[in-house]
Amino acid sequence: MALKIVLKPGERIIIGGAVITNGKTTAQLLIENHVPILRQKEIMGENEASTPCRRIYLVIQLMYIDAGNLATHHHTYWNLVRDVLTAAPSTLPIIDRISDHILNNRYYQALKLTKKLIEYEEETVAHVRHPNRNV
């Protein structure tokens, strides 16, 4: 069964490693085989990877869409994870779940879970900046 994707005018999508930007009108695509797909709201640019957990998201995104450099991306991932766990051991449960997805080549599921890690990071940083405020 094909995956139907409707793109808004100007919306970007990555399909199988190709970055595609829609033109001025709505477009409808049917993807008939299994390829990595990321919609614009799921794509993180390098300039957006401004925190340790966002860098983890970026490298998992690269694992998903750039299989040709998987070994390099895995190496980067494990280094980033080590650094995050050293700084914030409380992230271990979620990082364990993300890593399980990585080890089983479920990169899209790892990306979705990494969004929760980013939320946790943001909440933690906000709490450190404002310790008397309930976050």
pLDDT digits (tens, 9 = 90+) for 5-53: 999 999 999 999 899 999 999 999 999 998 999 999 999 999 999 999 9
Q: DSSP 3-state assignment of 12?
A: strand
Neighbours of 80 (CB within 10 A): 19
d(CA 61, CA 44): 8
Q: How far apart are CA 22 and CA 38, in angstroms?
A: 14
What are 37's strand-pairing partners?
15
pLDDT digits (tens, 9 = 90+) for 56-68: 999 999 999 998 9
Q: Report d(CA 62, CA 38) in Å as an integer.
A: 11
